[in-house]
Amino acid sequence: MKNNTRVSNAIIRRLPRYRRYLGDLRSRGVKKISSNELSELIGYTASQIRQDLNTFGGFGQQGYGYSVDHLYAEINKILGLDREYKTVVVGVGHLGQAITNHILNYKFGFSIVGLFDVNPTIVGLAINGVKVQNSSELEDYVRNNNIDIGIICCGKDNAQEVADTLVRGGVEGIWNFAPIDLDIPERIAIENVHLSESLHTLSFLISSKEKENR
């Protein structure tokens, strides 16, 4: 595999889509596939697919195409899914519970080992077998249990404080669902999921199509 330290963000965001389609192909028993066939499935051009995969070494053979199993495994490695990530969720309201249930059902590379909230009616409850702890215990728990990822599902007023606590505890990455841009050290990886911005984008697309159809 080639050095991927300077891979563009656009390529990185296409890789999970490749993985999803390859996973579906594997479940159907497909053993090999060409870039043209992948293009028809995914919607990217065959040239784009080859270019993306060549960034990491190619993985295809002239006249054969790609081994679905091998390419799926290699993309898992590129995405860092060949290891287990210990994860905590902070903010166990409706969104936090939905995220927790999704990850626990996903069962690939991510394990939720801790849930945290400040609401006394939630603290002490168990969600899918994981007990909700008081957020005052978060930093020590993260540090003592070598937590890799902190998932922030609380409101924006508390999100920065939660992020600071996670950083002090030693997380490697933060998955942020709070509607705020967080100030964190560059050594910490962060992925922001602003649901309202995604909904606003959808609103724009609907409006644009309405104008086109007039």
Tell me whether residue 94 is annotated as binding: yes
Is the CB of residue 154 less than 8 Å from the CB of residue 92? no
Tell me whether residue 95 is annotated as binding: yes
Alpha-carbon span 88 to 111, nearest angstrom: 8
Alpha-carbon span 16 to 186, nearest angstrom: 24
Q: Which tokens belong to 178?
A: 């709070």
DSSP state of 135: G
Is the CB of residue 90 less than 8 Å from the CB of residue 162? yes
Tell me whether residue 102 is annotated as binding: no
Other beta carbons within 10 Å of 113:
14
Is the CB of residue 176 less than 8 Å from the CB of residue 152? yes
Tell me whether residue 7 is annotated as binding: no
Tell me whether residue 70 is annotated as binding: no
Secondary structure class of 5 (helix, strand, coil)? coil
Tell me whether residue 92 is annotated as binding: yes
Q: Which residues are annotated as a binding site for NAD(+)?
A: 91-96
Q: Which residues are annotated as a binding site?
A: 91-96
